[in-house]
Amino acid sequence: MPAEGPLHQGSQRQVGPQSHPDAQDQRILEQRRDEQQTDAWKERYDARAGVEGTISQAVRRTRLRRTPYRGQDKTHLANVLSATALNIIRVDAWLNGTSLGTTRACHLARLALAT
């Protein structure tokens, strides 16, 4: 016997992603895509991309998310040392003319590039 009650009413409601967004959603999506083509949006995104890249580098190089220390003071010191290490890595790369890295490709894209 099916359960009844307020949680089970309205079984016709669609669950999951909608296959056909309504006109207002489509209009908003098109506006956002048009906005992404402007120079002002690209400048704002460049700043965000730089911050995201720095966070990614810190997480990969210094295991920033996994500190072995307990307590705020020791954790703060670990974060300061991680930031200092990143700065040293970047200065070294700049002095030696080494690029810091390229955009990584997913496994499928690397397979496509290999053929």
- pLDDT tens figures, 60-115: 888 888 878 888 899 899 889 999 999 998 899 889 988 766 667 778 888 877 76
Q: Are 72 and 115 in contact (CB under 8 A)?
A: no
In a domain, 14, yes or no: no
Q: Are 47 and 15 in contact (CB under 8 A)?
A: no
pLDDT value at position 70?
87
Report if residue 32 sits inside a domain.
yes
Q: What is the mean pLDDT of residues 4-29?
A: 65
- Supply the pLDDT for residue 17: 60
Q: Work out the average pLDDT over 26-34.
A: 90
On whether residue 36 sits in a domain, the answer given is yes
pLDDT band at residue 33 under the 50/70/90 scheme: very high
Residue 9 lies in a domain: no
Would you say residue 34 lies in a domain?
yes
Claim: this prediction has a pTM higher than 0.75: no
Determine the 3-state secondary structure of 105 from DSSP.
coil
Q: Is residue 46 part of a domain?
A: yes
Q: Is residue 113 part of a domain?
A: no
The answer to whether position 74 is within a domain reads yes
Whether 58 contacts 82, CB under 8 Å:
yes
Residue range of the domain that includes 46: 26-96
Bigger pLDDT: 37 vs 16: 37
Give the number of domains in the chain.
1
